[in-house]
Amino acid sequence: MNMDDERNIPTVKYEPRLDMFASSIMGTRKYQQDSYACIETPAGSLAVVCDGMGGLEGGERASGLAVKTLLEDYITDSITDIKKFFRNEVKVIDNLVCRISDDNGRPVGAGTTIVAVHIDDGEMNWISVGDSKIYVIRNNELHCIVREHNYRLMLNSMYAKGEITLEQYRSEENKAEALISFLGIGNVSLIDENEAPLKLIQGDMVLLCSDGLYKSLSDERILAIISDNYFDLQRAADELTEAALSYSGRGQDNTTVVIVKYQ
Amino acid sequence: MYYCIYCMTEIPEETKECCPCCGAARSNYKPPEGLLRPESLLCGRYYIGRASRSDSSGVTYLAYDTVMSRRVSLRQLTDFGSDSYRKYDHKERFLYTYRTLAQIDVSSLPVVYTCNVQGEVVYAVSEYISEHTLGAYISDTGRKSYEAAKNLMLPIIVALKLMHEKGICHGNVRLVNIRRTDKTLVLCDAAGTAGASGEKSFSDDIRDFLRCFVSVLGGYPVMADEQTVNELLLKNEPGLPDEALECIRLAFENEKTNITADIILRAVYKCTDIALGRKSEEKKEPPKELLELASRSGVAVTRLITSLV
C-alpha cells in the first residue's frame, strides 16, 4: 500500500494472478487418449489439452507425445515470439506424431488435436489444431474462439460459396464430424491462432477442453456449472467432467477440461 | 414447460390444479404479498415454486434450475432494515455470507451454487435438502439419550465451527432449519444478516445450537425455551456429565458470555480438532524428468499439473 503524499490517498497495487485447474475422465472408453498440462514459470503460464486418436494406444501415445514435446521445448527454448514458437511446435509435433510406429516399425496412423494458450503479463496467445476448443468466459458469457477443424467446416464453406447444393450438403453430413486437420496428418496447414494477443481483464476465465465436453453439454450448461462453482474452480472442472458423463446420451468420450482464471 | 410448485416435477399444464405426482392442489397455495410469484422465472433460469419457509430475515422457496435440470432451494433476503444504509449493509452481508458458505465443503451444509442480485431481489441458490426437519424427527422418535443426542448433533456443531472460522454467523439455527437426510443432519437457510449490532452473533448461534440439543434430549419438537433450559440445569434428568452441564450453564446464565463451537467440542465431544474425513485426491506427481529438465535449463517452475506420468 502506497501513500500518495500530496493527497494522502492510499493506493493499492493490483497484482494479477493466474490459477489453473484441470480434470480428466476416461468416460466409457477403454483407453484415456486425452493428455493435458499446465505449467507456470517466470516467462508466463502455458496450458495445453490434446485429444489423441488412433487404434489401441496410438491415440494415447500421440497426445502424450504432443504435450511432452510442447512442455520440453517451452522449458528449454528461449522464446521471444510465442506465436512463432507455437507455430513451429505444431509443425514439429505433427512430424513426430506421423512417425509413431508399432513394435514392428509400422506407422500406427495416430493423430492428436491440440489447443494451447500462453498467458504472460495479462496477454494471451493461443493455437488450435483439430476439434478441441478454447473458450473465453468474460462477464458471465462464454465465447468460443476457435473453429472445429472437421468436414463440416469444409462443407459450410463450400455451401456458402455455392460450390455445392443443399442436397449435396445434406448427403455429406453423415461425415461432418471427421477431422480434416490434426497433428499427425503430415504437413498440417489448417491451424487456428490469434492475430493479436487478447488482453485479459480481471475475472476472465479461459476454458480448454476436448470434444467430449461440448458434445455432451450445451454452452449454457457449461457456463452454469462454472458460475455455480466460481469460488472453487477445481470443483467446477470436476463437475464439468462428471456432468459430461451424466448427460451424455450413449457412451461418453474421454473428456478433459482445463480452467485458467485470471484475477 | 410446467412444474408442480410443491414437488417441482415436470407435469402437463392441464394437470397443474392437482399434481399427478404429489397430489397437491395448486389453488391451495396463496403466497403472501411481496414474495416472488410462483411459476415465474428468476434470471431466466430459476422456476419459482412455493415458499417453503420464512423467517424474519428471508424466505426460502423450492425452485427448479432449468439449466441444470435439478431442484434447488432459493433463499431470498427480505430483511432490508429501516434505512438505505442498512439496506445496503444487509444486502452485502447476505452476499458475503453465501459467497463464504460456497467455499465450505462439508456434508452438514448445503452446497451453495450462486448468490446474486436481480433488480430488487437479493437471492442465493443452494442444494435442495429434504423437507424432513429435526423437529419432525423428534416428534417421530421422542427423546434421546445424551450419547445419541451428541452423535445426532455433531454435524451441526461442526458446520457452525467451520462457518465461524470463516467469520460468518448462521443466525438462523432452529429445529425447522435443520434438515435430516439419509446420512446426516444439514443446517440450512443461513440468515446472512447476522453480525450487525443488535443481531445474532457467533455466541447466539451456539446458544441456539444448545437449545436444539436440549430439545433433542427432551424429545421436544420445538426449540427449548429458557424455562426448559433452566429445568435441565436444575434437575439434570437426562444425566448429563458435569462438563456438558457447565457448558450449558456458561452459555445461558449471561447472554453476553462468549461461547464458541470449540468450547462445545471440548466439553461435550472431548475433541480439540476435527478431521472432516474427506477422501483426499490422489495427487499425481509430475514426471521427474520434466522438473529436472527445468532445473538444468535454469527455469523456475512454480507450478506443473499434467496427465503425463
Residue A91 belongs to a domain with what CATH number? 3.60.40.10
pLDDT of residue B274: 66
A83-87, A103-107, A112-116, A217-221: which has the minimum mean pLDDT?
Answer: A103-107
The predicted structure's pLDDT at residue A56: 61
Q: Is A80 exposed, middle or buried (0-12, 13-18, 19+ CB in 10 A)?
A: exposed
A172–chain B nearest CA distance, Å: 33
- Residue A242 belongs to some domain of the structure: no
Q: Which is the CATH superfamily of the domain at B134-267?
A: Transferase(Phosphotransferase) domain 1 (1.10.510.10)
pLDDT in the model for residue A182: 95
Q: Judge whether A126 and A196 are in contact, CB under 8 Å.
A: no
Q: What does residue A212 show for φ and ψ, rounded to 5 degrees?
A: -60, -25
Q: Is A230 on the interface with B (CB under 8 A)?
A: yes
DSSP assignment letter at B160: H
DSSP A125-184: EEEEESS-EEEEEETTEEEE-S---BHHHHHHHHHHTTSS-HHHHHHHGGGTTSBS--BT
Q: How far apart are CA A35 and CA A60, in angstroms?
A: 8
* Coil, helix or strand at residue A49: strand
Chain A residues in contact with B114 by the CB 8 A cut-off are 227-228, 230
Nearest CA in chain B to A69: B290
Question: Would you say residue A199 has pLDDT above 90?
Answer: yes
Q: Is A15 exposed, middle or buried (0-12, 13-18, 19+ CB in 10 A)?
A: exposed
Residues 6+ apart with CB under 8 A from A47: A20, A36, A37, A38, A39, A116, A117, A206, A208, A258, A260
Residue A219 inside a domain? The answer is no
Tell me which residues of chain B, numbers 74 to 133, contact chain A at a CB-CB cutoff of 8 Å: 99, 102-103, 105, 113-114, 125
Question: Into how many domains does chain A fold?
Answer: 1
Task: Look at residue A38 and tell me if it is in a domain.
Answer: yes
Q: Is B230 helix (H, G, I), strand (E, B) or coil?
A: helix
Please give the residue range of the domain that contains residue A117: 25-147+179-210+251-262
ipTM field? 0.85
pTM score: 0.80
A123 pLDDT more than 90: yes
Question: Would you call B296 exposed, middle or buried from its count of C-beta atoms within 10 A (0-12, 13-18, 19+)?
Answer: exposed
Neighbours of B127 (CB within 10 A): 15
CB A108 within 8 A of CB A101: yes
Write the pLDDT tens digit of every residue in A209-240.
999 999 999 999 999 999 888 888 999 999 99
Extract the C-alpha cell encoding B82.
429501516
Q: Looking at the predicted structure, is the pLDDT value of residue A10 above 70?
A: no
Provide the pLDDT for residue A101: 86
Dist. CA B107–CA B128, nearest whole Å:
13
Enumerate the residues of chain B whose CB falls inside 8 A of the CB of residue A116.
none
d(CA B130, CA B182): 10
**Arithmetic mean of pLDDT, A18-37:** 88
CB contact under 8 A, A64 and B308: yes
Give B282 to chain A, closest Cα distance, Å: 13
Indicate yes or no: CB of A41 within 8 angstroms of CB of B297.
no
A72 within domain boundaries: yes
Residues A212 and A21: their CA atoms lie apart, in Å, by 17
The per-residue pLDDT for A8 is 63
**Average confidence (pLDDT) per 10 residues, chain B, 309 residues:** 87 84 84 86 93 88 93 91 81 91 91 90 93 91 90 94 92 92 91 63 92 90 81 76 83 84 87 61 74 89 90
The pLDDT of residue A256: 95
Residue A71 lies in a domain: yes
Chain B residue with minimum CA distance to A39 = B304
User: Chain A residues with CB inside 8 Å of B67's CB?
Assistant: 220-221, 224
Question: Quick check: B68 contacting A, CB < 8 Å?
Answer: yes
Please tell me which residue of chain A has the smallest CA distance to B297. A76
3-state DSSP percent of chain B in helix, strand and coil, to 5: 35, 20, 45
Partners of A40 on chain B (C-beta within 8 Å) are 301-304
Contacts of A42 in chain B (CB under 8 A): 299-300, 302
Which 33-62 residues of chain A touch chain B by CB within 8 A? Answer: 34-43
Interchain pair A41, B302: CB under 8 A: yes
Over residues A127-147, the pLDDT tens digits come to 999 999 999 999 989 999 999
Assess if residue A241 is contained within a domain: no
Q: What is the pLDDT of residue B196?
A: 46
Asked if A226 contacts A23 with a C-beta cutoff of 8 angstroms, the reply is no
Helix (H) / strand (E) containing B204: helix B202-218
Question: Do A227 and B306 count as a contact with CB atoms less than 8 A apart?
Answer: no
Q: Which residues pair with A259 in a beta bridge?
A: A21, A207
Residues A98, A65: contact at Cβ < 8 Å? no
pLDDT value at residue B197: 45
Q: Would an 8 Å CB–CB cutoff place B294 in contact with chain A? A: yes
pLDDT at residue number B194: 61
| B184 contact A CB<8A | no
B46: nearest CA in chain A?
A224
Where residue A13 falls among pLDDT bands split at 50, 70, 90?
Answer: low
Best residue of B67, B73, B99 to probe chain A, by most A CBs closer than 10 Å: B67
Q: Answer whether B70's CB lies under 8 Å from B64's CB.
A: yes
Q: Which three cell numbers stand for residue A141?
A: 458469457
pLDDT at A145: 97
Q: Which chain B residues are closer than 8 Å to A256 by Cβ? A: 307
Which chain A residue is nearest to residue B99, measuring alpha carbons? A231
What's the pLDDT at A133? Answer: 97
- Residue A58 in any domain: the answer is yes
Whether A142 has its CB under 8 Å from any CB of chain B: the answer is no
Q: How many CB pairs under 8 A join A and B?
A: 84
